[in-house]
């Protein structure tokens, strides 16, 4: 398949393609529920149920480990069974599990419930990735994923805003009603998913071993566990993926404990990230629809992320008690958030491209499952890594993170660049 043709504008593609519109609708409904639910979860468990914060963290960590296994297993299953039917069942399971949170009363019930939620969520991510890989040609996959990411941020943003209602009311009943409604949204999504066309999402074309921009030398049916190149890309992009945990966990703690900026700045910084992703994710994904293009973009993302780490650290250097130091620190934090967000969206686009383009078409599910484990593991270890580096060591820790991010990005760029030179272009 040639990639020299002028791509159809994404808005035109959405207008023409009913399957894409349905996928985007499902994404919006899902993320509305996720945004509202996960904003409330920890507070509900700690303040309403009375489970200690340490126990809540332990329970969610165990659930995260279940998610790693789920990503692998369901990726393989997506190559053997109907992706559409699995997505329907996974939505039903996740919806019922979210609703079941109202029955959680201690650590064992939390672990059980959270594990089922994470199993369905991570497993669904692998199956959805396989469905996208099959439903859209190589030149469209990254733009479709970018559009879905944009919708995801919109949905989570709106869901998070809606969660302000039960937070303001502050009663257990308000929390529980919102959590039940969030679960019900996933049940509604199951109906929408059932309408996806099986002919597009359930099976890779039987006569293709290419993935859109390259033809693989390896035989079809190759196991991702024997594909050292793909495993290396998975590990390195997962390592870079710790930047998500850095923004969500590390930045709020850094701002509050190590800068003179007002604590309230944390919320606008998160908003900056959301707005940039919504406005620029699709646009900055251009150029990543080939292996060579993804390699180049990933290298750029590494340098930008290193700069962002330097800026986060620099915000902690500002000292003083009046409004001038506070304003300077705030300005530096905003610039850091912008740089971090740009690195996030470009690295994500490059990773999506490589996860598809380096995989044989008949094993796209298994490869997506393996790729998803990189991010799942990163999500598990990121809070600890970020705390032990940036939070505990300050500038030195930020320097360590900058080296880690830059090194992983350059590593991905080197591997992908070599893959682009040694594969046969179509």
Q: How confident is the model at residue 222 (pLDDT cuts 50, 70, 90)?
A: low
pLDDT at 208 (0 to 100): 42
pLDDT at 142 (0 to 100): 80
User: Is it the case that residue 2 has pLDDT exceeding 50?
Assistant: no
Q: How confident is the model at residue 241 (pLDDT cuts 50, 70, 90)?
A: very high
Q: How confident is the model at residue 35 (pLDDT cuts 50, 70, 90)?
A: confident
Q: How confident is the model at residue 60 (pLDDT cuts 50, 70, 90)?
A: confident
User: What share of the chain has pLDDT > 70, as a percent?
Assistant: 92
Burial 116-139 (b: 16+ CB within 10 A, else e): bbbbbbbbbbbbbbbbbbbbbebb
Q: Is 414 exposed, middle or buried (0-12, 13-18, 19+ CB in 10 A)?
A: middle
pLDDT at 203 (0 to 100): 58
pLDDT at 210 (0 to 100): 44
- Both tokens of 384, joined, read 């600890």
Question: Could you give the CA distance from residue 116 to residue 71 in angstroms, rounded to a whole number?
Answer: 13
Would you say the C-alpha torsion 8, 9, 13, 15 has a positive or negative sign?
negative
User: Is it the case that residue 6 has pLDDT exceeding 70?
Assistant: no
User: Is it the case that residue 365 has pLDDT exceeding 70?
Assistant: yes
More confident residue, 15 or 108: 108
More confident residue, 69 or 413: 413
Q: How confident is the model at residue 381 (pLDDT cuts 50, 70, 90)?
A: confident
- Both tokens of 237, joined, read 């992009």
259-265 contact pairs (CB < 8 A, 24+): 259/315, 259/316, 259/318, 259/329, 259/333, 260/318, 260/319, 260/320, 260/321, 260/325, 260/326, 260/329, 261/315, 261/326, 261/329, 261/330, 261/333, 262/326, 262/330, 265/330, 265/333
Q: Residue 359 — left, alpha, or beta (φ > 0 → left; ψ -120 to 50 → alpha)? A: beta
State mean pLDDT over 389-402. Answer: 94
**374 alpha-carbon distance from chain centroid:** 11
pLDDT at 423 (0 to 100): 57
**How far is the CA of 365 from the CAs of 41, 74, 166, 423, in angstroms?**
31, 8, 39, 22
- Please choose, from the candidates 87, 154, 148, 169, the residue with its C-alpha nearest in 3D space to the C-alpha of residue 120: 87
Question: Could you give the CA distance from residue 261 to residue 318 in angstroms, rounded to a whole number?
Answer: 9
Low-confidence winner among 69-78, 142-151, 249-258, 356-365 (lowest mean pLDDT)? 356-365
Radius of gyration of the chain (CA): 21
pLDDT at 287 (0 to 100): 77
Contact 165, 157 (CB under 8 A): no
**How far is the CA of 143 from the CAs of 28, 78, 282, 286, 352, in angstroms?**
17, 22, 6, 8, 10
Q: What's the pLDDT tens digit per position in 295-319?
A: 999 999 999 999 999 999 999 999 9
- Please choose, from the candidates 372, 347, 354, the residue with its C-alpha nearest in 3D space to the C-alpha of residue 418: 354
End-to-end CA distance of the chain: 6
Query: Cα 221–352–68 angle (5° rounding)?
Result: 70
User: Is it the case that residue 139 has pLDDT exceeding 80?
Assistant: no
User: Is it the case that residue 249 has pLDDT exceeding 80?
Assistant: no
- Both tokens of 395, joined, read 């500038």
Q: Which residue is listed with tokens 């302000």?
A: 164
Q: How confident is the model at residue 404 (pLDDT cuts 50, 70, 90)?
A: very high
User: Is it the case that residue 324 has pLDDT exceeding 90?
Assistant: yes
* Whole-number average pLDDT of the chain: 85
Q: How confident is the model at residue 209 (pLDDT cuts 50, 70, 90)?
A: very low
């Amino acid at each position: 398949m040639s990639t020299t043709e002028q791509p159809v504008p994404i808005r035109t593609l959405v207008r023409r393609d009913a399957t894409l519109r349905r996928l985007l609708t499902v994404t919006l409904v899902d993320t509305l529920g996720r945004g509202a639910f996960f904003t409330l979860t920890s507070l509900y468990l700690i303040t309403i149920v009375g489970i200690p914060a340490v126990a809540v963290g332990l329970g969610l960590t165990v659930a995260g480990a279940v998610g790693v296994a789920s990503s692998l297993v369901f990726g393989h299953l997506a190559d053997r069974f109907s992706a559409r039917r699995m997505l329907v069942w996974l939505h039903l399971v996740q919806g019922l599990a979210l609703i079941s949170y109202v029955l959680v009363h201690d650590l064992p019930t939390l672990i059980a419930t959270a594990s089922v939620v994470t199993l369905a969520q991570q497993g669904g991510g692998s199956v959805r990735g396989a469905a996208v890989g099959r439903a859209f040609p190589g030149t469209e996959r990254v733009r479709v994923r970018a559009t879905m990411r944009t919708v995801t941020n919109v949905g989570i943003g709106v869901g998070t805003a809606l969660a302000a209602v039960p937070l303001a009311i502050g009663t257990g009943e308000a929390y529980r009603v919102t959590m039940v409604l969030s679960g019900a949204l996933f049940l509604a999504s199951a109906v929408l998913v059932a309408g996806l066309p099986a002919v597009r999402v359930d099976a890779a074309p039987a006569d293709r071993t290419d993935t859109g921009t390259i033809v693989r030398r390896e035989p079809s049916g190759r196991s991702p566990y024997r594909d050292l190149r793909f495993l290396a890309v998975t590990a390195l992009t997962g390592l870079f993926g710790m930047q998500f945990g850095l923004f969500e966990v590390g930045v709020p703690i850094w701002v509050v404990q190590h800068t003179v900026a007002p604590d309230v700045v944390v919320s606008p910084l998160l908003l900056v990230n959301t707005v940039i992703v919504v406005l620029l994710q699709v646009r900055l994904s251009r150029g990543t629809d080939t292996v060579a293009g993804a390699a180049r973009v990933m290298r750029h993302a590494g340098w930008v992320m290193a700069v962002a780490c330097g800026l986060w650290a620099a915000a902690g250097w500002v000292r003083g008690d009046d409004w001038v130091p506070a304003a300077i620190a705030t300005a530096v934090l905003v610039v850091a958030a912008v740089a971090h967000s740009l690195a996030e969206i470009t690295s994500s686009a490059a990773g999506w491209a490589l996860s598809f383009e380096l995989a044989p078409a008949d094993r796209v599910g298994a490869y997506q499952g393996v790729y998803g484990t990189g991010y799942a593991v990163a999500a598990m270890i990121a809070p600890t890594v970020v705390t032990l580096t940036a939070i505990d060591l300050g500038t030195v820790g930020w320097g360590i993170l900058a080296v880690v991010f830059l090194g992983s990005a350059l590593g991905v760029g080197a591997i992908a660049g070599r893959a682009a030179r040694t594969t046969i272009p179509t």
